[in-house]
Chains A and B, each alone.
Chain A
Amino acid sequence: DVVMTQSPLSLPVTLGQPASISCRSSQSLVHSDGNTYLNWFQQRPGQSPWRLINKVSNRESGVPDRFSGSGSGTDFTLKINRVEAEDVGVYYCMQTTHGPPTFGQGTRVEIK
């Protein structure tokens, strides 16, 4: 199975400052169809997860443009341009290129 490793696991940030989360996979996530199936999810306290980003960098409808995804191969990053209070929660990367789909451990974002 593909192992997804996130860092850091805890990220205290100041309101209005940027934040960055790294996600590394144990093997390339480039699918034979040429796409890279790397997603990012946000889970706010007490809520279900929701997908922010699909295929590395495509923001879902309704996701603020302060969120951006980048990367390729085995190294990926989620960036929050200017953190707001509503961004508190746990962020997960997930790959669906190789079966079975696997998640990172999660990164907890909190306000300093």
Chain B
Amino acid sequence: EVQLVESGGALVQPGGSLRLSCVASGFTFSDSWMTWVRQAPGKGLEWVANINQDGSQRYYVDSVRGRFTISRDNAKNSLCLQMNSLRAEDTAVYYCVIGGGYWWGQGTLVTVSS
């Protein structure tokens, strides 16, 4: 069974940093593009970043480029999102997603507030 388990969400002050993790199982992680998608409270879905199979290609939505870094460790079947210079508008549930949406984790809540 495919599983994506996110962790690392927390309450953080504006300007702070946070590192989200996603541990994958039940599929060949190293063969898959991986994606982070976020959803602000009561709002719609927003694609944040994705990374190709070997980590050589990484793409970001404009609003996080330069502040967020997506990475992966295929030996550990894990995906990460390093988030720096956090803003109130980054408050959201962050989902770990396989490729273009094949499977979603349960999400982890990031709250940026003083």
Binding site for B on A (CB under 8 A): 37, 39, 41, 43, 48-51, 54, 60, 90, 92, 94, 96, 99-106
Q: What A residues does B47 contact at CB under 8 A?
A: 94, 100-103
Would you give the shortest CB distance from B69 to chain A, in whole angstroms? 16
In whole angstroms, how far apart are the Cα atoms of A99 and B27 in the complex? 25
Would you give the shortest CB distance from A102 to chain B, in whole angstroms? 7
Let me know if A48 and B101 touch, CB within 8 A: no
In whole angstroms, how far apart are the Cα atoms of A105 and B95 in the complex? 17
Given A101-B47, A102-B47, do A94 and B101 touch, yes or no (CB 8 Å)? yes
Q: What B residues does A105 contact at CB under 8 A?
A: 44
Total A-B contacts with CB atoms under 8 angstroms apart: 52
In whole angstroms, how far apart are the Cα atoms of A51 and B102 in the complex? 6
Would you give the shortest CB distance from B99 to chain A, in whole angstroms? 9
Q: Which of B12-20, B72-80, B84-92, B103-111 contacts A (4 or more CB under 8 A)?
A: B103-111
Residues 6-51 of B contacting A (Cβ, < 8 Å):
35, 44-47, 50
Let me know if A48 and B105 touch, CB within 8 A: yes
> Which of A37, A49, A54, A100 is close to B104, meaning CB atoms less than 8 Å apart?
A49
Given A48-B95, A99-B59, A100-B61, do A94 and B45 touch, yes or no (CB 8 Å)? yes
Let me know if B59 and A48 touch, CB within 8 A: no
Let me know if B101 and A51 touch, CB within 8 A: yes
Let me know if A54 and B95 touch, CB within 8 A: no
> Which of A49, A50, A54 is close to B45, meaning CB atoms less than 8 Å apart?
A49
Q: Which 8 A-B pairs have the closest CB atoms?
A: A48-B104, A101-B47, A96-B100, A103-B45, A51-B101, A106-B44, A105-B44, A100-B61
Contact with A along B48-73 (1 / 0, CB 8 A): 00100000000111100000000000
Let me know if B100 and A101 touch, CB within 8 A: yes
- Closest chain A residue, CB of each to CB of B43: A106
Given A102-B47, A103-B44, A105-B44, do A39 and B101 touch, yes or no (CB 8 Å)? yes
Let me know if A54 and B100 touch, CB within 8 A: yes
Let me know if B59 and A41 touch, CB within 8 A: no
